[in-house]
Amino acid sequence: MSDAPEAVRKPGSRASNRRSFRQRHPAIVWSVVLIVLLPLVGGAAYAWNLKRKLDDVETVKLNPKSAPDPDEGRALNVLLLGSDKGEPKKGQPKNTTIAEDAASGDWPVGKYRSDTLMIVHIPADRKKVYLVSLPRDSFVPIYDTEGKTTHSEKLNAAFSMGGPVATINTVEKLTGLKMDHLAIIDWAGFKDLSSAVGGVEVTIPRSFYDPQQKIQWNAGKQTLEGKKALDYVRTRYGLAGGDFDRIKRQQNFMRALMGKMLSSGVTTNPNKLTKTVSALTDNLTVDEGWSGTAMAKLALSLRGITTDDVTFMTAPVQGTQTDPTYGSVVILQPDKLAELFTALGDDRMGRYLKKYPDDVLPDAEDVS
């Protein structure tokens, strides 16, 4: 990753030639899905199909280029951003992609929002996967594309104001970890992936009403597909923990989605697999140094991973407070935060989780 990176579009990519189709049919790639679900692909033919689709993914350039392919016995950190595409301000282009805007040299401030940020850590032995969500309202120093900071603000402002490079700089400074790769997805397409696998079952522990989305959630097991799945992961009003409970819902849905894929034969059914891989790649942007070959190799190196091997967590929070400029903000717990990311960097998460066993995502029946 870079100290002074520069964002450009990968020239001549086939993805750029299909951009109008993608704009008309926004597909799903949701943060962790790339890292956690693609490893389920097995067999040479499937791997080849996966690589072919990954070669079409749009890219942004981050200098210097990324480290060697991730199958060389080294731990790996991936920054995953779920991006909503809001309305651009007056005079800004409406239909350009993230890759195009990053390449333009004139990032459209305020056009994009990244309310979902995750760090995926994959140890060198490829036997576990750790996902740490960073609350979007975390009040932290925001770094620009040159690695400089002038003020603190909510974490999601880094992407809105400075794009992919500024976000990476901000997260690296916050965590002390180098991000080996970047993946950005339009999570509004979440519904496509849930439909591709035939719906995902979750448990609603108590009935409540979401006044923002005007949805009544009734207690009990529900199979969510399409828009209903998207509504589930976006809900925060009506939940006791607000945005913190929304993070748990997002993680809980991913866990259930993995289980559905493992139990429903998705990875052994060529038709289902093709639909799922397409849903995972059609609206994805990654760093230019992450080739289709490298992503496919990573997927194959993780093919033994199951849901029991994936740990979902949220960065340690000290509390919330009201800032006179930015409103309600999240204050992270600095000592524990440093302890967590040191454990990730040293591949000693077992020791950390033994000390803080309650930090992991609760059982599915206990997630609001």
- Taking only the tens place, the pLDDT of each residue in 100-134 is 888 888 899 989 888 889 999 999 998 999 999 99
Query: Range with the lowest mean pLDDT among 5-14, 75-84, 157-166, 350-359?
Result: 5-14
Q: In terms of C-beta density within 10 A (0-12 exposed, 13-18 middle, 19 or more buried), how is residue 312 classed?
A: buried
322 against 186, higher pLDDT: 322
pLDDT band at 2 (very low <50, low <70, confident <90, very high): very low
Mean pLDDT of 236-252: 90
Lowest-confidence range among 11-25, 33-47, 190-204?
A: 11-25
- Percent pLDDT > 70 in the chain is 79
CA pair distance 325, 305, nearest whole angstrom = 44
181 or 306, greater pLDDT: 181
Task: Give, for 149, the enclosing helix (H) or strand (E).
Answer: strand 149-154
In the three-class reduction of DSSP (H, G, I as helix; E, B as strand; rest coil), residue 139 is classed as: strand
Rounded Cα gap, residues 233 and 261, in angstroms: 18
Q: By mean pLDDT, which of 112-121, 125-134, 235-244, 266-275 is the weakest?
A: 266-275
pLDDT at 222 over 60: yes
Helix, strand, coil share of the chain (percent; to 5): 40, 25, 35
Q: Which among 199, 149, 201 is positioned nearest to 174, based on CA atoms? A: 149
Of 315 and 259, which is predicted with more confidence? 315
pTM, to two decimals: 0.83
**Portion of the chain with pLDDT greater than 90, in percent:** 41
Query: What does the DSSP 8-state code read for residue 242?
Result: T
By the 10 Å C-beta count (0-12 exposed, 13-18 middle, 19+ buried), 336 is classed as: middle
Provide the β-strand partners of residue 60.
Answer: 9, 287
Instruction: Give the Cα separation of 103 and 296 in Å (integer).
Output: 25
